[in-house]
Amino acid sequence: MTHVSFHEYSTLSAAEKAALLRRSETDISGFIEKVRPIIEAVRTEGDAAVARFGRDLDKADVTEKNLKVTPAEFDEAFGKVEREVVEAIEFSIANIRSFHEEQKPEAMWLKEIRPGAFAGDRFTPISSVALYVPRGKGSFPSVTMMTSVPAVVAGVPNLAIVTPPAPDGSVDAATLVAARLAGVETVYKVGGAQAVAAVAYGTETIGQALKIVGPGSPWVVAAKRELAGIIDTGLPAGPSEAVIFADDTVHGGLAALDLLIEAEHGPDSSAYLVTHSRRVAEEALAALPEHWARMSEQRVAFSSAVLSGPCGGIVLTGSIEESYAFVNAYAPEHLEILSEDPFAHLGHITEAAEILMGPHTPVSIANFALGPNAVLPTSRWARTYGPLSVTDFVKRSSIGYVTKSAYPQFAAHAHRLAVYEGFSSHAHAVSPVREQYLGKKG
């Protein structure tokens, strides 16, 4: 049986408790050094470097001439994906679109702040966004849906997906199906740090983007950090992580079942079961071998590495309050509240990007089909960021309009403050000097 890390939380030192909060990507300084030459090569060589890294790093059959997916490749993808899978993609996209349509802000609002003076906001789409869809440890049409749909709903006019190619130079067929059904038909065969660099600087084939969104490996995270001054890198979404919070009203085997969901993404994932019930903890520990027996060899290897390592396992707390404290300190990407009465716990949880309530709402349903976005902040960024949304694809402009009748009152107060702060031009712009010009016609 695989050893599973088991932590008696109340007995841990402050340093040991802090260690439980670390993620695999917390220190990516080593990756920063590795991505720098990749970024520089893409900046100076363009397509030639992108194709070369595709061959050298992804071991893929790509050239400068086939970096972009053709319409024929899109058409062929629909013939490669089973009808049931296409139907699942259609079902999920409909739900994701419905959810994000509700998020969409009104194009403009104005409020009369005082008689004759109006202020408000206007929302317009970002003109170009790149959507990163990972592939290293599997294929992710779900990420395609989660990034593409809100971008299309927001009205972004120039959208492109970047995703690592397979060894034969192809893009995952279901990813292409999801892209077309979501409304995106520009896909480039490039992943990793070179993808981030390509959309940041633009190449002969790959269009430059103002922003890139989507989760990725430490290589992608490192490239985003290095290029943050060149391209908007969006919310910090790195390797998968989850906390399964369970009270004493559920069976530990259920908690173990859901603990493996995010743990199977890869050895760089993070996953904890947190409970104050020893029975639940012991039942979960006992059930894990049964669950592993139903999984593929690769996913067993990934999840067992996580649960036996420093970023996963079972945390047995001394009280329900201590469980709440751990969850809030961890600020997970995904949080499940496994309880017959999950709403009794919801008010105690303030730091989580996604909160899934009750035994019938596993991360699986949220990742694929429920509607809320599954691209979420990781590494405790849930303390200041939320899930990817329509608002990530629009920018906000403040709108102000002061009428002739309202101007004198506002000008007087603005003049006083400008003089106090020592800004002469600010003051002159709302002084009798302005009134002289207002009385003249051009």
How confident is the model over 23-60, as pLDDT tens digits? 876 567 889 999 999 999 999 999 999 999 999 998 99
Choose among 29, 32, 121: nearest CA to 401. 121
**Average pLDDT of the segment spanning 204-217:** 94
- 370: region left, alpha or beta (phi > 0 left; psi from -120 to 50 alpha): alpha
**Percent of the chain having pLDDT more than 70?**
98
Rounded CA-CA distance 242/27 in Å is 19
Six-digit token string for 175: 């990813």
A 10 A CB-CB count for 155 gives 15
175-199: pLDDT as tens digits: 999 999 999 999 999 999 999 999 9
Q: What confidence tier does 70 reach under pLDDT thresholds 50, 70, 90?
A: very high
Q: Do 6-24+239-372 and 29-107+125-237 have matching folds?
A: yes
Residue 140 has a pLDDT of: 85
Would you please indicate which residues are annotated as catalytic (active-site) residues?
Answer: 333-334
Asked if residue 349 lies in contact with residue 382, where contact means CB atoms within 8 angstroms, the answer is no
Report for 57-61, 165-169, 330-334: range of highest mean pLDDT: 330-334
Residue 29 has a pLDDT of: 80
Asked if residue 229 lies in contact with residue 258, where contact means CB atoms within 8 angstroms, the answer is no
User: Which phi and psi (to 5°) does residue 212 adopt?
Assistant: -130, 135
Residue 205 has a pLDDT of: 97
**Average pLDDT of the segment spanning 217-223:** 89
Residue 266 has a pLDDT of: 87
237-263: pLDDT as tens digits: 878 899 999 999 999 999 999 999 999
A 10 A CB-CB count for 34 gives 14
Six-digit token string for 433: 């000097």
Q: Which residues contact 15 (CB under 8 A, 6 or more apart)?
A: none
Rounded CA-CA distance 220/222 in Å is 5
**Average pLDDT of the segment spanning 292-318:** 95
Residue 133 has a pLDDT of: 95
| Domain residue ranges of the chain, discontinuous segments joined by + | 6-24+239-372, 29-107+125-237, 404-438
Fold of the domain built from segment(s) 6-24+239-372 = Rossmann fold (3.40.50)
**Average pLDDT of the segment spanning 117-141:** 91
**Percent of the chain having pLDDT more than 90?**
90
Residue 359 has a pLDDT of: 97
Q: Which CATH superfamily is domain 29-107+125-237 in?
A: Nitrogenase molybdenum iron protein domain (3.40.50.1980)
Six-digit token string for 428: 């002159």
Choose among 170, 122, 172, 165: nearest CA to 144. 172
Rounded CA-CA distance 436/191 in Å is 60
8 strand-pairing partners: 316
Residue 26 has a pLDDT of: 59
Cα 338 to the chain's mean position, in Å?
Answer: 24
What's the chain's average pLDDT? 94
Residue 442 has a pLDDT of: 60
Asked if residue 404 lies in contact with residue 140, where contact means CB atoms within 8 angstroms, the answer is no
Q: What confidence tier does 392 reach under pLDDT thresholds 50, 70, 90?
A: very high
